[in-house]
Amino acid sequence: MSRMKLAGALAMATAAVAVAAQAQTPPAPAAAPPPYATTKVEGTDNVYIFRFGGHQSMFIVTPEGVIATDPIGERRPAAKAYIEEIRKITQAPIKYVIYSHSHFDHVAGGQPFKNLGAVFVAHRNAQKRIAALKPADVVVPDEVVDGQKVITLGGTTLELDYVGLNHSDSTLVMRLPKEKILFTVDWIPVKGIQFRGMADTYVPDIEEALKKVIAMDWDKLIPGHPGPGGVQTGTKDDARNQLAYLQDLSAAVKKAVDEGKSYADAQKEITLPKYESWPNYKPFLQMNIERYYDFWNRGI
């Protein structure tokens, strides 16, 4: 076969394979979400959610400047993207970066904001923890909150409230009273149980803190991670459901401990069918049970 003929035959064969492959190709799967994105919160004209990977953070744009929250930049260039996203909306100075709590996956990576002159605000215990552990790439807060601090900027009021021990000893509840929006991270998931073994979580204080949050005046929740299907906001029902879940879990584990069950038996036997449709129920329920087992069995 001449070289030309060979090339022609090869081309034909390749085309045939391509057609066959096309015929057999299943419909393309839904495209993966882009690595980061910014969404304006429905019903507002200046409140946004910046998402990078599986973390998200609220920011508020006012004529006098921007109030940003968690840089969510642990081992990744999220803050650079965050600032670029803000700059697509406004050239106003970024006045504040407010930490939701001390955990590094939410607060790391803020240096680019610091370089622009932002003032970093956090609960006093977050500042203490960060100053003590000196995690790489976490800016130490400049200002601290004890019970409450109110930030007013360009016609927007943002209330920073401490409601006691919950997912950490440094969690702030950030509330926009006019917009009735709440941003608080890692302890009020949208359709989710608590993360793994509830590390750093205070039991049973988290239940009391949830009651305080439920009693506050707000409608829309922005959590620190999107919920199932990438949903970025929740409602007060998510807080009520989380409280109900923790109370049900606590009662079930207490019963198991009272009956002298072992860790393993409690983990095997306890089921909470009301919550099994939440996507992380299966992987994390046994670890959540262990946390409450320690509380009821040893008071820790």
- Chain residues binding Zn ion by CB under 5 A are 103, 186
- Give whichever of 67 and 188 is closer to Zn ion, judged by the CB atom: 188
The least CB distance from residue 99 to Zn ion, in Å, is: 11
Q: What's the distance, CA 233 to chain centroid?
A: 11
Distance separating alpha carbons of residues 295 and 122, to the nearest angstrom:
29
- Give whichever of 46 and 166 is closer to Zn ion, judged by the CB atom: 166
Distance separating alpha carbons of residues 203 and 224, to the nearest angstrom:
21
Distance separating alpha carbons of residues 218 and 134, to the nearest angstrom:
35
The least CB distance from residue 121 to Zn ion, in Å, is: 17
**Which residues have C-beta within 8 Å of that of residue 200, sequence separation ≥ 6?**
103, 167, 168, 169
The least CB distance from residue 101 to Zn ion, in Å, is: 6
The least CB distance from residue 56 to Zn ion, in Å, is: 13
Distance separating alpha carbons of residues 70 and 129, to the nearest angstrom:
16
- Give whichever of 155 and 283 is closer to Zn ion, judged by the CB atom: 283
- Give whichever of 161 and 186 is closer to Zn ion, judged by the CB atom: 186
The least CB distance from residue 90 to Zn ion, in Å, is: 29
Neighbours of 29 (CB within 10 A): 6
- Give whichever of 161 and 179 is closer to Zn ion, judged by the CB atom: 161
Q: Is 21 exposed, middle or buried (0-12, 13-18, 19+ CB in 10 A)?
A: exposed
- Give whichever of 155 and 164 is closer to Zn ion, judged by the CB atom: 164
**Which residues have C-beta within 8 Å of that of residue 251, sequence separation ≥ 6?**
none
The least CB distance from residue 186 to Zn ion, in Å, is: 4
DSSP state of 217: S
Distance separating alpha carbons of residues 140 and 242, to the nearest angstrom:
31
